[in-house]
Amino acid sequence: MGQLRDRMEADLKLAGYSPSTCKIYLLYARLYTKHHMRSPAEMGEEEIRQYLLHMVEGRKISRETYRQIRAALTFLYTITLKRPTEVAYLPVRRKNVKLPVVLSGTEVQALIEAIHSPKYRAIVMAQYAGGLRISEACRLRPEDIDSKRMVIHIRAGKGGRDRYTVLSERLLAFLRDYFRKHRPEGWLFPGQTNTGHVTPEAARRVFRAAVNSAGISKPVTPHVLRHCFATHLLESGVDIAVLRTLLGHASLRATEVYTHVSVEHIGRVQSPLDLLGTPAAKLLG
């Protein structure tokens, strides 16, 4: 893509996209160019549709990958190439709602205990204790842990939004012990990287090893800890609006998926069949 790539990268930075989003958008723009062996400036709606169809039928991509490719090409043509009509009518794939996998409290405990490194155990504990995404946990700084107000300050989360989430007493005690022994500077979880903090990729490797050691057979990734946080809080009676704030969801609709996951909530609902023949049956008319 040459100069076009540089211009797109500059546009993404000016628009305030995160480094990870910039990387993904530039990757999909490059793959689109490579597929047709032509510059995007020489192509338009027909080539975009052909590429998307190839990815759906040939590569069997997921809805999320389709969404990212569509978003990348929409940015490329709308902003960088100033040709919004080329992407104005690209289909949006229908969403198939899949319930997230959730671990039991016992499984979460076994997972935590299977991690022997204090740094990586603290990352996993932070994810579960506060509903953090793995990238958010890796980027924590000591000053983000507010023990006076018992909150964790999440900076530049998804969409560049800051938020606060709950600080667990147990996590706080573990972090204090970790800090006294290791005295991290700058980042709470430092790593030998350009950024200075441990990478999500390194944390994922430790997580996968812990899953195997704990004997967990469910298909899980570190993001399951965020699902567990949300589901377990909902089961304990936390209001869904509060949960939305803790998770940093822009819309309540994103949080509502956990109402379908909460087995405890479902189990507390009384079937109308059980009401037949009781005084409460009068309410049924």
What pLDDT, on a 0 to 100 scale, did the predictor assign at position 277? Answer: 62
> Of 47 and 239, which is predicted with more confidence?
47
Known catalytic residue: 158? yes
Q: Of the residues 70, 139, 226, 244, which is catalytic? A: 226
Q: What percent of the chain shows pLDDT beyond 70?
A: 89
Out of 7, 54, 67, 158, the active site residue is 158
Which residue is associated with the tokens 């990348």? Answer: 72
- In this structure, the strands spanning 151-154 and 145-146 are antiparallel
**Is 249 known to be catalytic?**
yes
Of 121, 163, 197, 249, which is the active-site residue? 249
* CA angle, 281 then 283 then 285, to 5°: 85
Beta-carbon count within 10 A of 47 CB:
17
How large is the average pLDDT for residues 73-98? 90
Of the residues 121, 133, 139, 232, which is catalytic?
133
Segment 145-160 mean pLDDT: 88
Q: Does the CA dihedral 161-165-167-171 come out positive or negative?
A: negative
Q: What is the pLDDT of residue 124?
A: 96
Q: What is the mean pLDDT of residues 8-18?
A: 94
Residue 265's pLDDT is what? 55
Taking a C-beta distance cutoff of 8 angstroms, is the pair 35, 27 a contact? no
pTM score, two decimals? 0.66
Q: How confident is the model at residue 218 (pLDDT cuts 50, 70, 90)?
A: very high
**Active-site hit among 153, 182, 223, 265:** 223
| Residue 240 clears pLDDT 90, i.e. is over it | no
| % of the chain residues with pLDDT over 90 | 67
pLDDT at 81 (0 to 100): 97
For the chain, list the domains and their CATH numbers.
3-87 (1.10.150.130), 105-266 (1.10.443.10)
pLDDT band for 192, please (50, 70, 90 cuts).
confident
Examine the residue annotation and report whether 226 is marked as an active-site residue of this protein: yes
pLDDT (mean) for 241-257: 83
Q: Give residue 93's pLDDT band: very low, low, confident or very high (50, 70, 90).
A: confident
Give residue 47's pLDDT: 97
Helices (H), the chain: 3-14, 19-36, 45-53, 63-75, 105-113, 118-130, 134-138, 169-182, 200-214, 224-235, 240-247, 252-255, 257-261, 263-268
CA distances from 57 to 28, 39, 50, 67, 231 (A): 17, 23, 10, 15, 35
Rounded mean pLDDT of the chain? 89
Find the helix or strand (DSSP H, E) in which 191 lies: none
Mean pLDDT in residue range 250-279: 65
Residue 147 has pLDDT above 70, yes or no: yes
> In this predicted structure, what is the pLDDT of residue 18?
85
Segment 256-263 shows an average pLDDT of 68
Residue 223 annotated to the active site: yes
112-116, 157-161, 271-275: lowest mean pLDDT where? Answer: 271-275
Average pLDDT of span 151-166: 87
Residue 238: pLDDT band with limits 50, 70, 90: confident
Does the annotation count 133 as an active-site position?
yes
| Contact of 242 with 272, CB cutoff 8 Å | no
Helix (H) or strand (E) holding 165: strand 163-166
